[in-house]
Amino acid sequence: MDAIEAIRQRRAVKHFDPNHRLTSDEFNLLLDVAAQAPSSFNIQHWRIVNVKDPALRVQLREAAFDQAQVTDASLLFVVCTDIKAWAKDPQRYWVNAPQEAQDILVPWIHPFYDGKDELQRDEAMRSVGLILQTLMIGAKAMGYDSCPMIGFDIEKVGQLVNLPKDYAVGAMLVIGKGLIPAWPKPGFIPSSDMVVENRF
């Protein structure tokens, strides 16, 4: 399936085959695709908790108001973000870039984010959104369904996954073999509402 079709067919599916598992090759391909997501200064704030422990999944399902997809989907990711990733050895984000790019961009990172708490958090959450969308489109292109989730007790989920200091939970994402299709797409705002030319 090409990218355009994957985008059009991607839906938030709620019912998954609880007996299905991705192969190791499929899982590795999905992670490789996820790593292609863009991020500001290539910081890659995302940190994905791959929840495999069935008992932990049950606890997370309770924290997610008993949504069945938390335990039934093949994969359950708690997609977190390291808000302070910009300050943690930023040279490593540019190790394969030409030296002239490293010399320009790496020194910009610290002054761009230092002392700007709101910007740091906004940037980290933008990265969560970018990797979520990349994972969902990649999964759909591989023939799998997904469901991004924010309907859960965010503090409880953070406790259950031992969220480190300076990290935040962005969302949960389930991926697997859907059993019941989502209902038809509910509708789109007109392009005239979506796009403003030049200025509001």
Q: What is the pLDDT of residue 1?
A: 83
**Pair 83, 45: CB distance under 8 Å:** yes
Using 50, 70 and 90 to split pLDDT, how confident is the model at 132?
very high
For 134-147, the pLDDT digits (tens) are 999 999 999 999 99
If you average pLDDT over every residue of the chain, what do you get?
97
- Give the residue carrying structure tokens 């598992």: 21
**Percent of the chain having pLDDT more than 90?**
96
Q: What is the mean pLDDT of residues 59-71?
A: 98
| Domain ranges, ordered by start, for the chain | 3-194
Q: Rounded distance, CA 126 to CA 40, Å? A: 9
Using 50, 70 and 90 to split pLDDT, how confident is the model at 200?
very high
For 78-130, the pLDDT digits (tens) are 999 999 999 999 999 999 999 999 999 999 999 999 999 999 999 999 999 99
Confidence (pTM) = 0.94
CATH number of 3-194: 3.40.109.10
Q: What phi and psi values does residue 162 have, to the nearest 5 degrees? A: 55, 50
Q: How far is CA 171 from the centre of its chain?
A: 7
Q: Rounded distance, CA 109 to CA 104, Å? A: 10
